[in-house]
Structure formats: C-alpha cells, structure tokens
Structure 1
Amino acid sequence: MGPCRNRRDFLRVAGASLLTTLAPSSRAVRAAQAGPAGAAPSLPVSIARCTGYDREALYRQLQAMMDQLGGISQLVSGKTVAVKVNLTGSMKEDALGLPAWRTYHVHPDLVVATAALLDRAGAKRIRFLECTYQGDPFETYLKAGGWDLNALGALKAKVEYEDTRNLGRGAKYHEVKVPWGGSLFPAYHLNHSYVDCDVYVSLAKLKNHGVAGVTLGIKNNFGITPPALYSHHEPNEQAMSARVAVFHSGEQRPADGLPQELDPASPRRPTYRVPRHTVDALGIRPIDLTIIDGIETVSGGEGPWLPSLKVQRPGLLLAGRNPVCTDAVATAVMGYDPTAAPGSGVFPGDNHLAMAAALGLGTNDPANIEARGLSIKEALHPFGWLPAERNG
C-alpha cells in the first residue's frame, strides 16, 4: 500500500467512514484492573530474583509468580492474547557496548518464556505487537534482534507478529474513546491488533525515561498509537518517524478526521503532554497482565540516544494484574517514590502514576500494595538517576 498523500487518500485507504468506535466504560476499565467490586483498587505484585536469561529457568520463575497472583489459566485459556513488547528505538543500535536486548529492550529469551507460559496456560493465539520505525517485514526485524522464531513457532498456540506502526494486516483503523473523556485527546485511532484480542499483556523493561521518569508497564503502552497517523499532520502509511511533534511538543496536530486535542491552549512541554498521553493510552487499551524485565537493564533514560545511560543488573522480574500497582512497586524497587509530587523525585514533570491513581485505575502507594515473593526492601536496587531538568 502506498503512502497517503493527503486527507482524501487517507480516508479512502483507511476506510475512515467504517471506523469501529469502541467506548469501554470507566466501570469496565476499573473492574478489569482494580479487583473485586467495592474493594480498594489494589492487587498484589509478585517480585522474584532472577539473575539470567535461561529460558527454562525463566519459565519456571514466571509460573511461580503467576501462582502467587492466583494463576492465569482462567485469564488466557482458549483466548487470543496480545503481548506488547518494549523494543523502542532500533534493535540494531547497541547501548554501552551491549546489544539492545541486554540493555534497553525486553530480552528475546524472556519473550520465549512468556510465550511458553501463555501457551501452557491454554492460550489459543499469541500475537506479539510493537510499533517500529523501520520498513522490513516484522519477523525479519525480530529475527535480526535475536528472537527465536522457530521456538515460538513450535508452540501449540498460533503465534503471530504485528508491527502496529500502520494498518498492518488490518482493513481499517479503530477509534477508541478514553473512558473518562481523555487527558490529552478524547479518543485515538489504533491498529486492529489492540482491539482484536481477549487479553492484553505489557511485557516491559525496568528502566528510566527522560520525560516520564520511569518506563515500565504503563509507559510501554505509549507506543500503541501508530506513527502512520500521529507522527505528522498528514497520514502516511510508510511513515517511520516518531510521534514527538504530536504527543511530546504539540507542534503538530493529528490530521482532519482524527480526534483532536481537548485543549489546544494547554502547555506544549513534553513533561505535561507525555504523562497525559500515557494515561490516555492505558484507558484505550487496559492492561490485563504486566511482566517487567529487570534482570539486565539501564538507568538514565529509555535508550542509547540519552547520554546519561548506565548499565544496571537488578536481577529481578516483576509481575502483576493491576498496571498501576505493578508500576508503583517497580518504581519503589528502583529506589524512587511513586507518589512523588509533579516535578520532584524521579518525575521531571507530571507523575503519570499519580494521575492514573486519581482516575481510580489503581493505587500508586506501595504501602497499600501487597508484594508477594520478595519484599520491596529485599528487591531494592537503587537506580540513582534523577532528571537534570524539571518542568513540573
């Protein structure tokens, strides 16, 4: 499919008049993330010591963690499970002399162990998702990044791969409303894979983020919006640009025909906009299970384009059913306060965990979250990095 040269081409190619509008209620989102009716929005988080990437050891550890969380067979059996992986930037770009999968990307062997976990729990289909900035076939790109596609293909469940930077294999984009009306935009358009699934897993990395403070399960969701629509004003199915101008700086607006910003006069600074889009992304694609790779990682930012990067080896895995609780515990394990005020602690601007908590999506106070396996104190691995600039 060639690039959309203007809005008319976009409407023809994407079939915008046939967009599916999904509007999950706040009640539905909170029920999926907050636990039993009437209970405080808090679910336990499992923390485990894991110092290497041996697949069988990873599988056994993940299975033990799921048991601590009440099991996942009921969640995934017979269902299509979408897994959003954190492969920000490029798999071909090393960091600090180490490959991406040993620093700022989810490790390929953890991907295989996670797939085995879902497969043995009865998943019917497992679809790995990421939004890339490259034009190779997604499977080719993944293989070049160390992914063992043969091992994944040998599973009983059908394993699929979808680069969600554009329409991909979908016939149209899907418009999904933010349940609470939106923090930055009222609704967004998504690749079909984010709505064509029964269960959604965020397979994330334990690391910092230059603008958001931390990149964990929720910030991993930032990457679900397609650059084909959000990297510039005019849609382009071949786009390989980041979404900075729309979501970070606000220098561009989405094309006509897409939901527009709620308040065009709001601050244009990234530390205001990125947290709001991050929370919106959680609203349009609630996370059913978060798994965080903290075995080998980096501090100082999300990728090698940031000069403050340092190698970290916490030797940890974290998992939880409520994404706010899980990220709050992970933030505490990194030595930070997940309840910090805007512009303080690890957060250079607004605290997206506090914003999500205020919306009722889960507590961000570790004192109100049960840690199973290791305690936060036992798992503590201070990252030490703090933002050099603050715009709270």
Structure 2
Amino acid sequence: MMLPKDRLDRRTFLKLGLVAGTLRPAFASGADAKVAIVPCKSYGAAVEPALAKAFDLLGGIGRLVKGKTVTIKVNLTISRRFITLQGRPPGETYITHGDTVMALCAVLFREGARRVRIVESFPDSKPFEEVLADAAWDVPNLLKLGRVELENTRNLGIGKQYSTVKVGSGGNLFSSFDLNHSYTDTDVFISLAKLKNHKTTGVTLSLKNLFGITPNALYGDQAPGEQATAGRGRLHFGNRWARINFPGQKETSFTLDAGARIPGIIADLSEVRPVHLGIIDGITSISGGEGPWVGSLKLTNPGLLVAGLNPVATDAVATAVMGYDPLSPRGTKPFAECENHLLLAEKAGVGPADLSKIDLRGMTINQAKTPYA
C-alpha cells in the first residue's frame, strides 16, 4: 500500500520558509556563526542558568523563539532498553538527559515560545511518554512548564501525510527526504545532542543527530510500513545483496562504504532540516563510541555546554573541545574511517567548519578542551 506524502504547495512553502520545496533557515546562517561554551558541572538546578548564560553570549534567543513553535530533536539512540553504563544512568552517558530538556524548555517559555515540541524517531510502538519515562525523564513536570507536545516521529504520528522536502544543493546520496509533519510544521528547530564519539562517523553532535529525523516507517529495516519499529541499519550501511530504494534516494548514489554513505546522508539532512540552534551536552558523556553496543567506552566529565546558531560551527567547536581538528580529512582522527561530515555540510553551504571563521564566546577551546581519544 502506498504511504501518503504531502508535496507541499507554494503557500505552505512560503509560510514555513521554504523555497522551491527546500527548507531554509529563517535565522541561522554561515554569516551568523556564533558559538558559546559555558561551564556546567552537574545536572539538576545548574543546567538552566548555564543555558541562559550561553544564550546571552549568543546575543539572546528571544527574537528567535518569541511567539513561535519550537521543535527540539533529542537523541535517544536506537536501543529499546536504556542501559546504565559503569554505574551512570543513560542520561549522563549516551542519551539526552531529562534535566537538559527541562531546563531548555523553561528558558524557551521564559523567552516567549508559544509551543515546544519534543521529537525523536524512536523504534518502539509504546506511547512516547512511556519511552521518556523509561529514560528517567520527569514527564509530568515537563508537561507543566507550558504547551509541551511529545511526538515519536518514527512514522506519521498524528500527521496525515508525509512532507517531501528537497535537498537544496541536489544532495550527495539523496535529492529529497519524506518527513513527519513535526519537522516542517515548525518555526524553529533545535538539535539537542551529547558530546560523543561515533564508531562510524567519528563524532556525533548536532549534525549527526539529524539522522534520527528520518521515519523508521520509510527508512527503517522494516520499511515501508507504518507499524515498523526496526532501526535504520540498511540506511546506514546499505544492503550487500539488494539495492534499496528509499524515498528520495539518488539513482547514482549506491555505495556500501558506510564511511562515505553516512556522512553524505548527514550533509543532505543538514540542508533538508536546517538547525536554528545547536546545543551539545558535555556535562558528562562517553568517549569511544555512541552507545553501550560499542566496546571500549570511557566515561567523560567535560563539565560544559556548547551552543551555537549554526550547526556546522557548533559541531566544529565541539569537535575541537574533544581534542580533534574539525578540518581533519578522512584517515585522520576522529574521521579515521569516514568522510568528515562537517566538511561535506560546509561544502553544501550550511556553515563554516574552520574555527578562524567562527565567533567563539565564553570559554576558550583550550579552557574547555577534554581530549576524547
């Protein structure tokens, strides 16, 4: 059975800031590459003032969010079970911490946001509120902060049709993506990530977090099907035995090289869903990989938050904080086995990866540096 798609009309494009089927950021741009690093040594009450300080250093976010619908893409990874690592709960190691979300929502509402929507394409059919409770989020108090909506974007969700959004530059592996309504029916988009390594892509920050905007129903291992709950292994790695034609995939893009495939898709997604505000939680995290399924993980305690108005610039600063050169080519850490997706996004015009072109505020990189590996 064909899954519904919404080929957005021109009026909707204009309303959402789309041009010829391509989402364009209304605020963030390469020319506005401000990034702030602020200290934050613990979760709980310390997070909200730290975020507020970071936003003040960026010039304030009131003009960005006042009266707007703000969508926050969190990172819950692919595992259906949230696992304690070396005595630390998952929010302190490999997923978005509930305290970070609570603090961010509080600041957004204080700055005048009309509605805040929290989203993730999570491979489970249980109610999203239960998923977040399993992740140790304080869901009841989160919902009391204001008009907060929670949506699992693994399929249509509460939407009736998928939105097809084109990759402005034409794309590396995809010319367009079909997305849940939450990613187009919004004024402001925030990517809230952890400061982590990734086994395949070297680092997973605000850009890699975009991989999770693809619905499992269309891009997962059980696709197509609205009840699909499998992960996206085939999207990540392809299929040695058969070519898989995902919605929007370019005819000439087939490759089984995950080190080229995944970074290329990340760069394509960075054009499809522009990030107005990237936030990276480096209060505590892990190094050596993105989650408990990866061996040789180590606990990290950077004690900081990174926030920026451009995702490439934000990730470049965070990559430097981790002890790497954000301009490193393939074959050099952290991109030892993959293309550098920051450079691919920079090439597409999303933003600068060169630290000399970034307006860094707050802590210096040397003050913040916490070498990962």
Q: TM-score, normalised by structure 1?
A: 0.88
Match of 1:60 among 49, 62, 65: 49
CA 1:351 to 1:26, structure 2 compared with 1: closer, same or farther past 3 Å? farther
Match of 1:219 among 208, 218, 236: 208
- Deviation digits for residues 84-137 of structure 1 (CA, Å, limit 9, x no counterpart): 001102352232332211100111111100000101011111000011111210
Match of 2:309 among 321, 336, 349: 321
What SS does the corresponding residue of 1:182 show, helix, strand or coil?
coil
Match of 1:138 among 110, 128, 137: 128
Match of 1:333 among 304, 312, 321: 321
Work out the number of aligned pairs and report it. Answer: 363
Match of 1:275 among 252, 263, 269: 263
Give the match for residue 100 of structure 1: 90
Matched, 1:363 2:358: no
* Maintained 8 Å contact 2:217/2:225: yes
Unpaired runs of 5+ in structure 1? Answer: 1-8, 36-40, 385-392
Matched, 1:165 2:151: no
Match of 1:70 among 46, 59, 64: 59
Unpaired runs of 5+ in structure 2? Answer: none
* Maintained 8 Å contact 2:196/2:204: yes
Distance 1:238 1:115 in 2: 30
User: What letter corresponds to residue 133 of structure 1 in structure 2?
Assistant: P
CA-CA distance at 1:15 after TM superposition: 2.6
Matched, 1:176 2:165: yes
Distance 1:253 1:162 in 2: 31
Distance 2:113 2:267 in 1: 28
CA-CA distance at 1:338 after TM superposition: 0.5
CA 1:377 to 1:136, structure 2 compared with 1: closer, same or farther past 3 Å? same
Q: What pairs with 1:1-392 in structure 2 (closer than 5 Å)?
A: 9=1, 11=2, 14-16=3-5, 18-20=6-8, 24=19, 29=24, 32-34=27-29, 41=31, 43-55=33-45, 57-90=46-79, 91-155=81-145, 157-232=146-221, 234-251=223-240, 253=243, 258-264=247-253, 266-347=254-335, 348-384=337-373
CA-CA distance at 1:352 after TM superposition: 0.4
Distance 1:30 1:73 in 2: 16
User: What letter corresponds to residue 265 of structure 2 in structure 1?
Assistant: H
Distance 1:292 1:136 in 2: 27
Distance 1:31 1:128 in 2: 20
* Maintained 8 Å contact 1:50/1:315: yes
User: What letter corresponds to residue 260 of structure 2 in structure 1?
Assistant: Y
Q: TM-score, normalised by structure 2?
A: 0.92
CA 1:24 to 1:183, structure 2 compared with 1: closer, same or farther past 3 Å? farther
User: What letter corresponds to residue 370 of structure 1 in structure 2?
Assistant: D
Indicate the percent of aligned positions where both proteins have the same amino acid.
44
User: What value does the CA root-mean-square deviation take over the aligned residues?
Assistant: 2.0
CA-CA distance at 1:140 after TM superposition: 1.1
User: What letter corresponds to residue 29 of structure 1 in structure 2?
Assistant: R
Distance 2:88 2:34 in 1: 34
* Maintained 8 Å contact 1:186/1:262: no
CA 1:102 to 1:30, structure 2 compared with 1: closer, same or farther past 3 Å? closer
CA-CA distance at 1:26 after TM superposition: 11
